[in-house]
Amino acid sequence: MVQATESSSNEARRGPAGEARPVISLFHASLRYGHFLALDDVSFKIENGEFVFIVGPSGAGKSSILRLVLMHEQPTEGEVQVGRFLSSKVRRREIPLVRREVGCVFQDFRLMRDRSVEENVAFAQMVVGVSRAQTKKNVVQVLNWVGLYHKRHQTARTLSGGEQQRVAIARAIVNRPKILLADEPTGNLDPEVSQEVLDLLFRINAQGTSVIMSTHDHLMVRRFGERVIKLDQGRVAADLERYRPQASDERRQIESMRGPSAGVGMKERSVQSWLQSPDRENHHA
């Protein structure tokens, strides 16, 4: 178990030889629910800008890791670091600050089904205190980017599954998080729509946002060749830096060349102008 000392905290901030620290680190983290050990001595680091697949069977601990990163749960043993926050030192009142840095997308979308598309996205701004005028501007920008501005007044329940997931992604990135967690985001979608959603996640990642995606889809993982953390019975069974390096290189080249995909009706708006706009760092100031 990591000792919660000032020296260990400073080390986590600096990293080796004063280097910038990872955006996420788990240090011998375990998580127990009563007698059930959901995670057992898990350690890994995720660097800024990485795209990481977390794979494993049901019950392997994928969702438990995401809950630790969100600080919905505190590790029973060990330490979790998210940005500048350490689980052993974070105060309850600081938890909302942690979650401003982390966007979330889920398999079941978790939208307010009787509210409009723009109301769903604006809600994420409201909870962090963004002004009404700035919220309106940001919602327009992000809905243009995911290709759903023309459906902004429709209720979420009237949309297809793929459209609902794109609304969920818009909501997750409207606050410009440094980390995006995607928990089985394509699990309820057909292959073609799954590809559109994955393309969207890759474009978000290409601009520097770290993306951590849990999935059962091993074919998807093999195809795109990003870093893979494989879990089995709550432990890290494998941590592969590049599953298929050539596939990853090809994907990055294609994504850098084609820009926003016409396949999901996106307008010609640069993702860089949205996710790396000048106010990204002080958006919550």
User: What pTM did the predictor assign?
Assistant: 0.77
Q: What is the pLDDT of residues 142-157, one digit of tens each?
A: 999 899 999 999 999 9
Query: Looking at residue 13, what is its pLDDT?
Result: 39
Q: What is the pLDDT of residues 1-60, one digit of tens each?
A: 333 333 333 343 344 344 556 899 999 999 999 999 999 999 999 999 999 999 998 889
Query: Looking at residue 18, what is its pLDDT?
Result: 44
- Residue 2 within a domain: no
Mean of pLDDT values over 85-112:
90
CB distance 188 to 111 below 8 Å: no
Q: What is the mean pLDDT of the chain?
A: 80
- Residue 16 within a domain: no
- Residue 218 within a domain: yes
Q: What is the pLDDT of residues 188-241, one digit of tens each?
A: 888 888 888 898 999 899 988 999 999 887 777 877 768 999 999 999 999 987
- Residue 117 within a domain: yes
Residue 278 has pLDDT above 70, yes or no: no
List all residues 6 or more positions away from 195 whose beta carbon is below 8 Å from its beta carbon. Answer: none
Q: How many domains does the chain have?
A: 1
Residue 267 has pLDDT above 90, yes or no: no
Query: Looking at residue 136, what is its pLDDT?
Result: 94
Query: Looking at residue 98, what is its pLDDT?
Result: 86
Query: Looking at residue 266, what is its pLDDT?
Result: 34
Range 74-110 burial, b when 16+ CB lie within 10 A, else e: ebeebbbbbbebbbbebeeeeeeebbbbbbbbbbebe
Mean of pLDDT values over 67-91:
93
- Residue 18 within a domain: no
Strands (E), 5-62: 24-33, 36-46, 51-55
Which residue range forms the structural domain that includes residue 207? 49-70+96-275
- Residue 125 within a domain: yes
CB distance 88 to 5 below 8 Å: no
- Residue 159 within a domain: yes
Query: Looking at residue 121, what is its pLDDT?
Result: 96
Only one residue has tokens 């620290």, namely 21
- Residue 214 within a domain: yes
Q: Are strands 179-183 and 102-106 parallel, antiparallel or unpaired?
A: parallel
Q: Is 155 helix (H, G, I), strand (E, B) or coil?
A: strand
Q: What is the pLDDT of residues 154-178, one digit of tens each?
A: 999 999 999 999 999 999 999 999 9
Q: Is 48 helix (H, G, I), strand (E, B) or coil?
A: coil
Residue 256 has pLDDT above 90, yes or no: no
Q: Is 266 helix (H, G, I), strand (E, B) or coil?
A: coil
Domain containing residue 119: CATH number = 3.40.50.300
